[in-house]
Structure 1
Amino acid sequence: MAEAVMVLGAGMVGVSVALHLRRRGLDVVLVDRQGPGEGASFGNGGLIQREAVYPHAFPRSVSELLRIARNNAVDVSYHPLALPSYASPLLRYWWHSEPTRYAEVVLAWAALIRSCLDEHLALARGTEAMALLRPVGFMRMYRDAAALDAAAAAAEVGKRDHDVNYAVLNGRELAAAEPHLLVQRAGALHWTDPLSVTDPHALTLAYFQRFLEAGGSFVNGDATTLAPTGSGWKVQTQDGPIRAPRVVVALGAWAGKVTQPLGYTPPIFGKRGYHYHYGMQGNAVLNRPIIDADAGFALMPMRAGVRLTSGAEFAATDAGPTPVQIARAEPVARKLLPLADRVEDKPWLGVRPCMPDMLPVIGPLPQHSSVWCAFGHGHQGLTLGPSTGRLVAEMMTGEKPFVDPAPYRPERF
């Protein structure tokens, strides 16, 4: 009989882990209190970001910190009363962003990012998921020519060190690529490697369907009920308790609620994000995702419409929605594109699971070798789900890992 494994969390990371384990012959049950892909994997920029070899570092310039402190930006917002709870992880985040330490983080981060396109295509090829992956990259637009030149110089370093590809478009070329833009810009940096996902939820569901077809199973349950039993673990589900000798915790921002009772308290913190979808006026279209580098928001062509995404909001995870960043961004976005009405009555809200050293937590718990971690991917859970799934499965089945897992080990905290 095949060894049983419970995977807690059915977002892109959890589904990918479950699929890779099942393909290696393990008896896998996927557990989530919601349906597959209904958490943070549902709402995001919809990009498989091969170019994202440099994780978001903590701002270190005084001018940037003062800008954020004013709390009136699109890209960053915060609830003042929530800041004390963020003090410790943000201080560690600042420490790890020191240039020498950050350079080490980049090497470990880029090792995973480098694999993201191949690993997604390995899961999607031959299925309906391929239609969701558009090889059009995305563009970051700039008002100022000097800012565009600086971005191009940084991109050239990324190309040299990490084999990422890009093109620089002047204002005329940008207008030709996106003819329905309502404004002129100095130009854009076109990252050509990333895949644009027209429906991130549907992509997670497509991989989930492959998991079911491979013989995996899914059940709604409460991961926080995880408890030892005999030689393994049990979780309460709508079908009663289920048991397995090994468990994978892929719960994103809520992973600590499960690991803390087991003696492991990772310094994970959440960055909340929002999105709305909009129609387009007349026959206007957006050909590829665009990011307004000056205003700090993204516009993504999706099945449901053009998705306007906010930046990061620092708030208590159970606080009510405060979509002020979307409210600030929408008037600017309407001057950029001929947007029509909102598709939804209220914005989507999700929480990105972030770690202070900007690296995910992957590997067995120090105190419990039968409980494995796969969380903390920050803004890149969609991008890194299949890569993480492969790495976890290789480690759990004794295969040689395709990347060195040491930088992501849980015991680093």
Structure 2
Amino acid sequence: MTRSAIVLGAGMVGVSVALHLRRRGYDVVLVDRRGPGEGASFGNGGLIQREAVYPHPFPRDIAELRRIVGNRQVDTAYHIGALPGLAAPLLRYWWHSEPQRYLDAVRGHAALIATCLDEHMALARDTEAMALLRPIGWMKVFADPNMLDAALAQAEAARRDHGVNFTALDRAGVAAAEPHLLVERAGGIHWTDPFSVSDPHALTLAYARRFAEAGGTLAIGDATTLRRAGSGWQVTSAAGPVEAAEVVVALGDASARVTKPLGYAPPVFGKRGYHAHFGLHGNATLNRPVLDVGSGFLLAPMRAGVRLTTGAEFAQPGAAPSPMQLDRAEPVARALLPLAERVEVTPWMGVRPCTPDMLPIIGRMPGQAGAWCAFGHAHQGLTLGPTTGRLLAEMMVGEQPFVAPEAYRPERFG
């Protein structure tokens, strides 16, 4: 069973890990209870975010905390019953967001983000995925001039320290870039580096096809059946038991449910998000994704229509969907852009896997020979899937990692 691996989880991260391992000669079975890309990779803003060098910290401003506590926002919502179970990880999240400690998160995050465009291109080149990666960037627009000035100052720091590119837009610049906006904004920031993905699910499927074409195996199975099998690992699939010498857990927010019985229980917590698609009236267009900062939602042009996405919702695992943020966002979005009817009846919901220190967990699972971790990417699973896949595959094979892996080591959560 040498040079063989089971990869648990067929989202963008798991598919990328499986493809990179296959390219390095591993026999790989990619196992998920659903098809590739049908979890959190299905629904998001569709951005490969080269500009996202600053992860989302826990708010520390009193006025901002009061706003969130009111629980009537588009960008943040919570279920009161979920708060006791989230108290410990959220307290650690707050602790890591202290300004000096937050710099460690920025350094670790930026090192991964810097590679994201090249690593996606390495998987997409010469495939149908290239048509999905639109080099149009995305925009933040601001109604409040003071918020715009603060954001421009941070953008300048990102350009100086991390090589991020952007264009500052005044009121006329925003109107020229997006002529069908129904309201004026004080200005904006056009992040010019990122790719906008017209169909994130299709992108994950394209990488999964590349994995299968390279000789990898896709299987429907139950990750919770993972157990030791001699010196290797076994999991139950629809076609019977699957065995391999090594296993990679890339199950997003569900990862800890599989690693905990193995003695590793990292404090991963979920942020739920929703989206719905809309048509546009008349000849209206949206040229690129637009985040209306004061309103707290993103509008993105997709194959299925204009996607309206929400921020973060905190709920108990398995709780029924409660798309109140979409209901709050829709009338505001209609005042911003001439949206027509919803495309689908039921909004999509997914869960982003987050860690208290805002960095993913990538590396060898503590105390378990032949077991590896690749989860906890929060809002950046789509962006960082190929980067994580290459980094972990290099670690597993014994190559020199192309990104220093110490900041993401699993043992930091003992």
How far is 1:366 from its partner? 1.2
Q: Are residues 1:337 and 2:341 paired?
A: no
How far is 1:369 from its partner? 2.6
| 1:378-413 C-alpha deviation (Å, 9 max, x unpaired) | 000000000000000000001000011111111001
- Asked if 2 retains the 8 angstrom alpha-carbon contact of 1:317 and 1:351, the reply is no
Counterpart code for 1:180: H
CA distance in 2: counterparts of 1:149 and 1:102, whole angstroms? 22
CA distance in 2: counterparts of 1:369 and 1:62, whole angstroms? 46
Match of 1:46 in 2: 46
Counterpart code for 2:172: R
CA distance in 2: counterparts of 1:165 and 1:369, whole angstroms? 42
Query: Normalising by the residue count of structure 1, what TM-score does the alignment of the two structures yield?
Result: 0.99
CA distance in 1: counterparts of 2:99 and 2:32, whole angstroms? 39
Q: Percent identity?
A: 68
- Asked if 1 retains the 8 angstrom alpha-carbon contact of 2:9 and 2:32, the reply is yes
Structure 1 residues 7-86: aligned runs within 5 Å = 7-86=7-86
Counterpart code for 1:318: G
Other structure's SS at 1:90 match: helix
* 41-50 or 171-180, larger mean C-alpha shift: 171-180
How far is 1:105 from its partner? 1.2
Counterpart code for 2:112: L
How far is 1:88 from its partner? 0.2
Counterpart code for 2:386: P
Match of 1:266 in 2: 266
Q: Are residues 1:165 and 2:158 paired?
A: no
CA distance in 2: counterparts of 1:148 and 1:338, whole angstroms? 24
CA distance in 1: counterparts of 2:204 and 2:71, whole angstroms? 34
Counterpart code for 1:181: L
The runs of at least 4 consecutive aligned structure 1 residues that moved more than 2 Å come to none
CA distance in 2: counterparts of 1:352 and 1:400, whole angstroms? 30
How far is 1:317 from its partner? 2.0
- Asked if 1 retains the 8 angstrom alpha-carbon contact of 2:299 and 2:308, the reply is yes
Match of 1:185 in 2: 185
Match of 1:326 in 2: 326
CA distance in 2: counterparts of 1:62 and 1:177, whole angstroms? 35
Q: How many residues align?
A: 413
| 1:104-125 C-alpha deviation (Å, 9 max, x unpaired) | 1111110000000000011111
CA distance in 2: counterparts of 1:125 and 1:218, whole angstroms? 22
CA distance in 1: counterparts of 2:197 and 2:90, whole angstroms? 31
CA distance in 2: counterparts of 1:29 and 1:194, whole angstroms? 31
Match of 2:280 in 1: 280
Other structure's SS at 1:59 match: coil
How far is 1:146 from its partner? 2.2
CA distance in 2: counterparts of 1:188 and 1:388, whole angstroms? 31
CA distance in 2: counterparts of 1:87 and 1:146, whole angstroms? 33
Query: Normalising by the residue count of structure 2, what TM-score does the alignment of the two structures yield?
Result: 0.99
CA distance in 1: counterparts of 2:328 and 2:60, whole angstroms? 25
CA distance in 2: counterparts of 1:108 and 1:181, whole angstroms? 37
Match of 1:305 in 2: 305
CA distance in 1: counterparts of 2:403 and 2:366, whole angstroms? 20
Other structure's SS at 1:284 match: coil
| 1:199-242 C-alpha deviation (Å, 9 max, x unpaired) | 00000000001000100001100000000011111001100111
CA distance in 1: counterparts of 2:63 and 2:108, whole angstroms? 29
Structure 1 residues 248-267: aligned runs within 5 Å = 248-267=248-267
- Asked if 2 retains the 8 angstrom alpha-carbon contact of 1:2 and 1:25, the reply is no
Counterpart code for 2:92: R
| 1:61-84 C-alpha deviation (Å, 9 max, x unpaired) | 110000000000000000001100
Match of 2:4 in 1: 4
- Asked if 1 retains the 8 angstrom alpha-carbon contact of 2:361 and 2:375, the reply is yes
- Asked if 2 retains the 8 angstrom alpha-carbon contact of 1:180 and 1:284, the reply is yes
- Asked if 1 retains the 8 angstrom alpha-carbon contact of 2:139 and 2:190, the reply is yes
Cα RMSD between the aligned structures?
Answer: 0.8
How far is 1:2 from its partner? 6.1
| 1:121-149 C-alpha deviation (Å, 9 max, x unpaired) | 11111111010001111000001222212
CA distance in 1: counterparts of 2:43 and 2:369, whole angstroms? 33
- Asked if 1 retains the 8 angstrom alpha-carbon contact of 2:2 and 2:245, the reply is no
Other structure's SS at 2:299 match: strand
Q: Which runs of 5+ in 2 are unaligned?
A: none
How far is 1:183 from its partner? 0.6
Other structure's SS at 2:353 match: strand
- Asked if 2 retains the 8 angstrom alpha-carbon contact of 1:22 and 1:216, the reply is yes
Other structure's SS at 1:225 match: strand
- Asked if 1 retains the 8 angstrom alpha-carbon contact of 2:309 and 2:326, the reply is yes
Match of 2:200 in 1: 200
- Asked if 2 retains the 8 angstrom alpha-carbon contact of 1:30 and 1:217, the reply is yes
Other structure's SS at 1:257 match: helix
CA distance in 1: counterparts of 2:41 and 2:64, whole angstroms? 29
CA distance in 2: counterparts of 1:134 and 1:384, whole angstroms? 17
| 1:166-197 C-alpha deviation (Å, 9 max, x unpaired) | 11111111111111111111111111111000
Other structure's SS at 2:402 match: coil
CA distance in 2: counterparts of 1:78 and 1:97, whole angstroms? 20
Match of 1:410 in 2: 410
